[in-house]
Amino acid sequence: MEDLRNSLSGRRSGLDLLLSKIPGYGGYRDKELRREADQKLRLYLADQFSQQLRRAEEVSQQMLTGPGLSQLAEMGQANTRLQTLIDRVKTASQGYTGFFDAVKIGDEELDRLYEFDENMLHTVDDIAAALEALQAALDAGETDKLAPVVRRYARAISDAATTFDRRKEILAGLGY
């Protein structure tokens, strides 16, 4: 995925360019663009998690018949945790301070927040890999492998949620 911070800063209007000549405004606007990039990245991340949830729900439907029925409750709980994570990602704080706020957040801190959110994309890959293993076990009729792969899927979601919890530590370092 391209770095949204760069693409958003290239779309400045004539008014923004004029206002950037006001002392302090240029830095403020750059921070706003960084926050906007982070928000877009988080929405993209939430969308990627949502795609995995749709896949998981399809797999759950396949589990309704046959040997997968015994793992359906754990699968449903994991899907609920994934939906909760999606909601948390969508509504997460963007490290905002206004132009006149006493606490100022610097570019480095905003970059750290963006990079953290960008690294969260790796957790999507872990969830996708777990779902692929689950689908493979279902397709092969390997009933003895269903419980471990459902647990792997649930663990991937828990790990993603734990990783996302660390975002609060970054925000705490920003003065929140």
Say yes or no to pLDDT of 68 above 90. Answer: no
Would you say residue 7 lies in a domain? Answer: no
**Owner of token pair 């649930």:** 154
Q: Whole-number mean pLDDT of the chain?
A: 79
Task: Give the number of other Cβ atoms within 10 Å of residue 170's Cβ.
Answer: 16
Q: Which domain holds residue 95?
A: 45-173
Would you say residue 113 lies in a domain? Answer: yes
- The Cα–Cα gap between 58 and 112 comes to 36
Q: Which is more confidently placed, 114 or 148?
A: 148
Query: In this predicted structure, what is the pLDDT of residue 126?
Result: 97
Would you say residue 34 lies in a domain? Answer: no
Ranked by mean pLDDT, the top range of 10-19, 45-54, 98-107 is: 45-54
Three-state DSSP class for residue 124: helix
pLDDT band at 139 (very low <50, low <70, confident <90, very high): very high
Q: Which is more confidently placed, 51 or 1?
A: 51
- Are the CB atoms for 86 and 46 separated by under 8 Å? yes
- Are the CB atoms for 90 and 15 separated by under 8 Å? no
Question: Could you give the number of structural domains in the chain?
Answer: 1
- Are the CB atoms for 154 and 78 separated by under 8 Å? yes
